Structure 1
Amino acid sequence: MEWSLERVREILAGGMQCVRECQCCAFATAICVLLLFAWYCYRMGREHGSDPLRRRYGLDHSHMRGVRGALISSEGCGRKGRKSSVEEQNGFAYCQSSECFRCTASGEGLNQRLYHSLQDYAKRYTWSGMGRVHKGVRDQGRYLSSRPTIQRPEVFFLPDLPSAPFFSRDVQRHDVELLERSFPTLLAEFENIYHHPPARGGSSLPPGWKANSTPHGQWWTYYLVNQGTPLALNVRRCPRAWRVLGQLRTFIANNVFGNACFSVLTPGALITEHYGPTNVRLRCHLGLRVPASCELVVGGEPQCWSEGSCLLFDDSFLHRAFHEGSAEDGPRVVFMVDLWHPNVAAAERQALDYIFTPGR
């Protein structure tokens, strides 16, 4: 190859052209990257500003509307002194109380608080044993919106718990046997506070009693513990029942899913089908007065109460109750308590008590 001044000039010119072309490509690439970054920031900012938790928890628009709307009423929903507003929509009963945890602490605000509360709990204590709780909080929206219609808890679903409408008394044998041994005590306590039956419509209810709206008949409750909060005046009137609650090993005493009350259904009364707020509990009914033609239907399975015996059921399943007896039969009366589901571990109970503390 012969070198000459002209050849060197050609090589230098070609090199300069390549440099200019490379600079153009690099500049164009940088412009594209900047534009993509700006578009990404715009999209993220828009989504974050509109609904940050819908992405985190997988909540779709229809589910959010349903959660923000009226939540379903159950035996345990509502505070003392409240006049319930109940609608019948497609055969279901809906609670619209401004004082009910399930009706006011749901949706995006609840999801955010649960997530932050769980993080705070893990920092204070441990993440050990928190796998299911973390999974339930993280994917709550997907669980609540995708559950089959037969079981659909309204507030919180803990995954991987055995599910059934009714449970054997053996799963909480100690507490069931304690309640059944306390039958005479609890019946006497009930008769002491019910010696003046509430008037129809609840306009002149005796102290402590609460009237719940029903499409037929009447349903009254006398709470000792309502959504994790003891009612001091009612507790003072029922000291023996309060002592029984204190002896139970699995009573949910420290979070909003725990209730204890005397529940009365008059002849002709119907509690419309509804779901409970969570699957982490079992609802226990101790029969105190049980006339004929009274029935509890959970998940399509009917059961009858009996005096002195307990029924354990998962109220996150669709359920209803009715009393089809005559006026001469008198009311159906049960003592109702919420117990932990037997497969919720001790560490999980402690975490759930923390993140669902009343007033949190």
Structure 2
Amino acid sequence: MQWTLDFFPIPPCAELGAQPLSGLLWTLLVLFLWYCYRVGSDPPGTGRTHPGKLKSGSARSGRMLRSSISARGSNVAASGVNLSKAAASDRVTPCIVMETGEEEEEEDAEMGRHRGYLTPVLGHTLFPNQAPAASKKLYGALQEYAKRYSWVGMGRIHKGLREQARLSERSSIQKPHLFFLPDVPSIPFFPRDAHRHDIEVLEASYPIILAEFQAVYQRGVDAKLGWTCQSPKGQAVFPLYSAGVCVAANCRSCPHSYRTLLSLRTFISSNSLGSAGFWVLGPGATLGGCYGPTNARLRCHLGLQTPPQCELVVGGEPQCWSEGHCLLVDDSFLHTVSHNGTAEDGPRVIFSVDLWHPNVAAAERQALDYIFSPEQ
């Protein structure tokens, strides 16, 4: 079967005739079909590298097509043929953008500025000889963790262990006595948004947590009943978790409080930096001038019984508890607790839970769980 071009409204060409013009149109048609085949044959996920941008290979195909059309149009023009349709298609630029990669480079540079602490640490970096024995033991645990997993993400932990000795020697309003994680934003009191989910869970459970405390408190404050008493300071603690270890008997006495702890996203339950339980402070008692063990955590206080004359001062900033509401405290700052009420006011009672600092990365949390494991 022979195909003809009689159905095209083509004006007669005196110089070239119909045969050369037909060959030109067939060439353009073949190039167009070849281009459509190349674009449509790219597998999903490889045709585009960014929304709105084709791969450079497709862009090269578009440039080859345009160059072929331009060359063909130039030859026709040189022959004196005025082909209006070819000229119009040559003037229209196909919607193909050559990918430069500049935006991707800018994004990578921006992310790099915020994740410098996630870069690998050289395992042979010297540890200071004058470091205390406790820091050397922790550094040995970090080396064991890195051999088992990786040095990636250990930059701040490595730096904190090396500088712990100098931190303990200097006078500062923030001086955790066990471990300081560098480059962590620190303020005495954090806003609720830092741990909104966990705070809302605790506050929603306030009535049942209070009822469970009252049940164990009415049985008596006695070491045989699970209490840890600090009589000279007027403080008593009923722990559910103590230094990363679950106190099973106490958790059985407060099953809902225990289940609430397990539902929290950031509760420190696997290392010695984390504890949770009921803290009771009697009237006239004061706990003054102490630092928490680390700035890698925040201590959440859910107020259960809060007489008006009770006050918490952290880093020189005073705050008061409120029943049914939480305070997020960085207790690595110098802090004092006082109950200036009378015996009629009753004790101050809070449900204290240790949560991860929001700026501690997941890799660092895993490493700290290993380094400060209760078995270490």
TM-score, scaled to structure 2: 0.64
Q: Cα 1:214–1:319, aligned 2, differ >3 Å: closer, same or farther?
A: farther
**Matched-pair contact (CA < 8 Å) for 1:165–1:301:** yes
Q: 1:322: which partner in 2? A: 338
Cα distance in 2 for residues equivalent to 1:197 and 1:290: 20
Q: 2:241: which partner in 1? A: 225
Deviations 1:305-344 (A, max 9, x none): 0000001111110101111111111111100000001100
Q: Which amino acid aligns with 1:253?
A: S
Q: Which amino acid aligns with 2:356?
A: W
Q: Which amino acid aligns with 1:168?
A: P
The aligned runs of 1:29-68 (5 Å cut-off) are: 56-57=127-128, 59=130
Secondary structure of the equivalent of 1:157? coil
Cα distance in 2 for residues equivalent to 1:206 and 1:326: 28
Q: 1:267 deviation in Å?
A: 1.1
Deviations 1:221-273 (A, max 9, x none): 00000011111111111111110000000001111000001001111111122
Q: Which amino acid aligns with 2:157?
A: V
Secondary structure of the equivalent of 1:211? strand
**Matched-pair contact (CA < 8 Å) for 1:196–1:206:** no
Q: Which amino acid aligns with 2:150?
A: T
Q: 1:173: which partner in 2? A: 196
The aligned runs of 1:198-347 (5 Å cut-off) are: 198=221, 204-205=222-223, 207-215=225-233, 218-347=234-363
Deviations 1:77-125 (A, max 9, x none): xxxxxxxxxxxxxxxxxxxxxxxxxxxxxx41x2222111111111111
Structure of greater Rg: 2
Q: 2:167: which partner in 1? A: 143
Secondary structure of the equivalent of 1:57? coil
Cα distance in 2 for residues equivalent to 1:287 and 1:319: 18
Higher relative contact order (CA 8 A, sep 6+): 1
Q: Which amino acid aligns with 1:189?
A: E
The aligned runs of 1:120-159 (5 Å cut-off) are: 120-146=144-170, 148-159=171-182
Cα distance in 2 for residues equivalent to 1:239 and 1:57: 47
Q: Which amino acid aligns with 1:128?
A: V
Q: 1:143 deviation in Å?
A: 2.8
Q: 1:58 deviation in Å?
A: 6.5
Q: Which amino acid aligns with 2:315?
A: G
2:135 equivalent to 1:111: yes
Q: Which amino acid aligns with 1:57?
A: P
Secondary structure of the equivalent of 1:139? helix
The aligned runs of 1:77-88 (5 Å cut-off) are: none
Secondary structure of the equivalent of 2:225? coil
Cα distance in 1 for residues equivalent to 2:128 and 2:252: 43
Cα distance in 2 for residues equivalent to 1:195 and 1:57: 52
Secondary structure of the equivalent of 1:251? coil
Secondary structure of the equivalent of 2:229? strand
Cα distance in 1 for residues equivalent to 2:297 and 2:262: 18
Q: 1:139 deviation in Å?
A: 2.5
2:184 equivalent to 1:161: yes
Cα distance in 2 for residues equivalent to 1:57 and 1:213: 41
Q: Which amino acid aligns with 1:275?
A: Y
Secondary structure of the equivalent of 1:242? helix
Q: Cα 1:206–1:325, aligned 2, differ >3 Å: closer, same or farther?
A: farther
Cα distance in 2 for residues equivalent to 1:264 and 1:286: 12
Q: 1:213 deviation in Å?
A: 4.2
Q: 1:355 deviation in Å?
A: 0.6
**Matched-pair contact (CA < 8 Å) for 1:213–1:219:** yes
Cα distance in 2 for residues equivalent to 1:308 and 1:59: 47
**Matched-pair contact (CA < 8 Å) for 1:221–1:261:** yes
**Matched-pair contact (CA < 8 Å) for 1:59–1:142:** no
TM-score, scaled to structure 1: 0.67
Fraction of identical pairs, as percent:
57
Q: 1:59 deviation in Å?
A: 4.2
Number of residue pairs the alignment of both structures matches = 251
Q: 2:24: which partner in 1? A: none
Q: Which amino acid aligns with 2:303?
A: G
Cα distance in 1 for residues equivalent to 2:291 and 2:129: 22
Deviations 1:139-171 (A, max 9, x none): 22123323x421110011110011111111110
Q: Cα 1:324–1:206, aligned 2, differ >3 Å: closer, same or farther?
A: farther
Secondary structure of the equivalent of 1:353? helix
Cα distance in 2 for residues equivalent to 1:246 and 1:173: 16
2:366 equivalent to 1:350: yes
| RMSD (CA atoms) | 1.6
Q: Cα 1:342–1:207, aligned 2, differ >3 Å: closer, same or farther?
A: same
The aligned runs of 1:10-25 (5 Å cut-off) are: none
Unaligned runs of 5+ in 2: 1-125
Cα distance in 2 for residues equivalent to 1:144 and 1:172: 29
